[in-house]
Structure 1
């Protein structure tokens, strides 16, 4: 929970301090890279850590992740320019790429099937707390101390997490010589980076039909095809292709991908609707989407009882139905409503995510052995990261096209957009979210009815 809090707080604390960072370091046009480079580094490193964890153990990988995140935080706090801060944020992202999947994998190792959902509910509660603590601390540090304390605050948490992990977590790993799949790891890292980069920056840094966009995405496609070819022949593939060939792993990864799509859509556009249409403060806008992170851990902690009695797929189906209901509720929000309507819809969606993501991940872990659980968990979380990148691209394209169409081809700065332009434009994003929720229901139906644990 301490390790997870490093990443969870970081996800919300920096956004509130961007004005202070830009005022101090400059580089207004570069600041979006503070978030893009972090997501990029995190996404492409997740499956690599998962494989190495199956070879040498979870503990070393988690300690490496904490150390990288700590080093990145210290350097971010000392950054002397925006380019330097961006580079150090990449280092933080590499640390986060280990912390999140290792936390979930360790839970799968330590706890029984009946205990796992409750424990994951505890870990999910960290995100709920962080959604409130993060923006609050970010504002306090920026207004009364310095934005640099946003990063220095990670130091005691990281040290405490590392010490507790060293003292309290014991694992018995059979040591043997491994053949490191260097070529596969390189192709996945570079190809995955280009894919996520193309999805994040397409339509923003460059037009979708520009030579740059086509070159980046085409390069990603070529490298990932080569990656598949190499993995099919590697002695110890960094990401075994059987992960995508077995129904349970393919379907749960698809569920995780849709979770990533929905999360980025809600996090980006629900607060914007609250502030731009209802005229709320940034704090109130943040709390509307924070309602989702309240519903999530509550439902996740209760999901264990449901899937032990009714099965993983049935529980996940109930969750996906709630996600669809909440997404449909967003379609009925209009300028005459209040932020409460948004918060209620987000709470319902959060409860649905808790009943969907927890059982699907536990199902995948239940169908794996210790020696494959790291890869399975890493693949699941990699799918969520890719889903976030896809969501940024798709929802951003929908919103930009909707705004441009209503302004007759003009695309002014966000602060100049009126409520009567924002409301229908973001409504189209909510329509896209409802479509994603329908795909979520279909993905859950692809899960097998029964999930058997392997013999070894």
Structure 2
């Protein structure tokens, strides 16, 4: 029995365009946060100091986002979408406001945790609301609009961040979201109406606590695994805590009246495959966004602007494919649309594998574009089919589970691919280090700065570039392997919905 629904009378009063606009503002606010902060970080570090804590400005936000996304998804099924989304937006805005007043890197990291705590509600609950207020034949088109928000933010974020830092202050990088969030809050408050059935709520607090402990320790292991030894006591201890908490979480979910994660939704083949492919494409996405600019700047010796252009190509391909997928889903079905996306992922990965240093950034951009098309076709198809497969009372957690798997893929990919690159580069440098020089992995940082690169001996530049080429080629082979795994999984879809 549904715990909440939109009555026919209320449905007639719904101002869907206004709700959609409010949701797109919330999604834009959430999406632009990553790209705009990345551009401002050099200025922030210069002002606040604490360079050793640099990565935690991003990791703290990522950790809280990943930890809370499933919890918010389930709470939206119990309490309704509106209160959960409004709570998330409010917490996000408080965190954004505080970030601008940070006087040290430690303070900034704490405030980023607050931001991430609120951000975890935005994407899954906003996407779930679309599933609630639009019919099956409309969802694909509208979900495409939401996906386009991410592409637009990826293009606008770096440019806007650079303008604010260069001409005004880095504080505005965080405060620029506040008016957007307020408008979104007002729109959802006034235009979204839900008929919540009055009954006693049995919220699985123990399950939520165990899930939080398990995911947060796992994410900490993956984020810090590259900085600490994988065999060190802290890493092993955290891994054991994550495993034990997850086992206890499973046991708790089996006995809970309203489990935080109803495992039976994973028994639906379309949801299982969609979530597994989201995990593999999450690894691919971080491999592209983290390491393609390094290749373009360090090996091809192009500027950061040109390197950014190669990633922008993915950001363009993604929303275009998301919008096209709406029509494809209606004409050829879910499975065929997803397989087209899987083919595009393989094509893009093959281009990156075949890419030579002398090929130029245009080829890198083409490969990036095809990967973006693949991401757009698959991600939109997944959200639509998941929301069609489950009932209202499980739509929130089902949508959140898919987004969580992509977040997990990003984090696993960052740890896995970063470790592969460092190992390969260190091995190559050790074997080919020019006599009389002290070349280390850290020396490779100088390849990314044209002035510092010119000060290096030609023999050192050659070794570093060859080592970096070999290392990144290995990473792209791994990305290709994940694209093939993704395609194989997609062929297991039996229903062409």
- The TM-score with structure 2 as length reference comes to 0.88
Contact 1:184 1:227 in 2 (8 A): yes
SS of residue paired to 1:397 = helix
Contact 1:14 1:138 in 2 (8 A): yes
Contact 1:138 1:150 in 2 (8 A): yes
Contact 2:141 2:327 in 1 (8 A): no
**Partner of residue 421, structure 1:** 467
Q: Moved runs in structure 1, 4+ residues, more than 4 A?
A: none
Contact 1:257 1:383 in 2 (8 A): yes
Structure 2 counterparts to residues 137-152 of structure 1, below 5 A: 137-152=160-175
Q: Identify the match of residue 341 of structure 1 among 342, 363, 366.
A: 363
**Partner of residue 411, structure 1:** 441
SS of residue paired to 2:255 = coil
Q: Identify the match of residue 105 of structure 1 among 106, 112, 128.
A: 128
Q: Distance in 1 between matches of 2:104 and 2:352?
A: 40
In the alignment, does 2:300 pair up with 1:278? yes
**Partner of residue 6, structure 2:** none
Structure 2 counterparts to residues 37-76 of structure 1, below 5 A: 37-76=60-99
Q: Distance in 2 between matches of 1:279 and 1:17?
A: 23
Structure 2 counterparts to residues 185-196 of structure 1, below 5 A: 185-196=208-219
Gaps of 5+ in 1: 452-456
Q: Distance in 2 between matches of 1:122 and 1:307?
A: 15
Q: Identify the match of residue 479 of structure 2 among 433, 449, 452.
A: 433
Structure with higher Rg: it is 2
**Partner of residue 454, structure 1:** none
Q: Identify the match of residue 443 of structure 1 among 480, 484, 489.
A: 489
**Partner of residue 132, structure 1:** 155
> Aligned residue pairs: how many?
450
Q: Distance in 2 between matches of 1:156 and 1:10?
A: 14
In the alignment, does 2:342 pair up with 1:320? yes
Q: Distance in 1 between matches of 2:306 and 2:139?
A: 33
Structure 2 counterparts to residues 74-89 of structure 1, below 5 A: 74-89=97-112
Q: Distance in 2 between matches of 1:167 and 1:259?
A: 37
Structure 2 counterparts to residues 227-266 of structure 1, below 5 A: 227-266=249-288
Contact 1:181 1:234 in 2 (8 A): yes
State the 1:444 CA deviation: 1.2
- The TM-score with structure 1 as length reference comes to 0.96
State the 1:165 CA deviation: 1.2
State the 1:243 CA deviation: 2.5
State the 1:413 CA deviation: 4.3
Contact 1:132 1:287 in 2 (8 A): no
C-alpha distance after superposition, 1:391-425 (max 9, x if no partner): 11111111111111111184324423533322221
Contact 1:315 1:356 in 2 (8 A): yes
In the alignment, does 2:55 pair up with 1:9? no
C-alpha distance after superposition, 1:285-317 (max 9, x if no partner): 112111111111111111122222322112101
**Partner of residue 168, structure 1:** 191
Contact 1:255 1:360 in 2 (8 A): no
State the 1:122 CA deviation: 1.3
Contact 2:218 2:238 in 1 (8 A): yes
In the alignment, does 2:331 pair up with 1:309? yes
Contact 1:252 1:447 in 2 (8 A): no
State the 1:450 CA deviation: 4.4
SS of residue paired to 1:232 = helix
SS of residue paired to 1:238 = coil
State the 1:155 CA deviation: 1.0
**Partner of residue 238, structure 2:** 216
State the 1:371 CA deviation: 0.7
Q: Distance in 1 between matches of 2:35 and 2:274?
A: 27
Gaps of 5+ in 2: 1-23, 432-439, 448-463
Structure 2 counterparts to residues 321-400 of structure 1, below 5 A: 321-400=343-422
Q: Distance in 1 between matches of 2:220 and 2:161?
A: 27
Q: Against the structure 1 CA distance between its residues 230 and 335, is the aligned structure 2 distance closer, same or farther, given a 3 Å change threshold?
A: same
SS of residue paired to 2:122 = helix
Contact 2:148 2:323 in 1 (8 A): no
Contact 2:148 2:322 in 1 (8 A): no
Q: Distance in 2 between matches of 1:213 and 1:442?
A: 33
SS of residue paired to 2:231 = coil
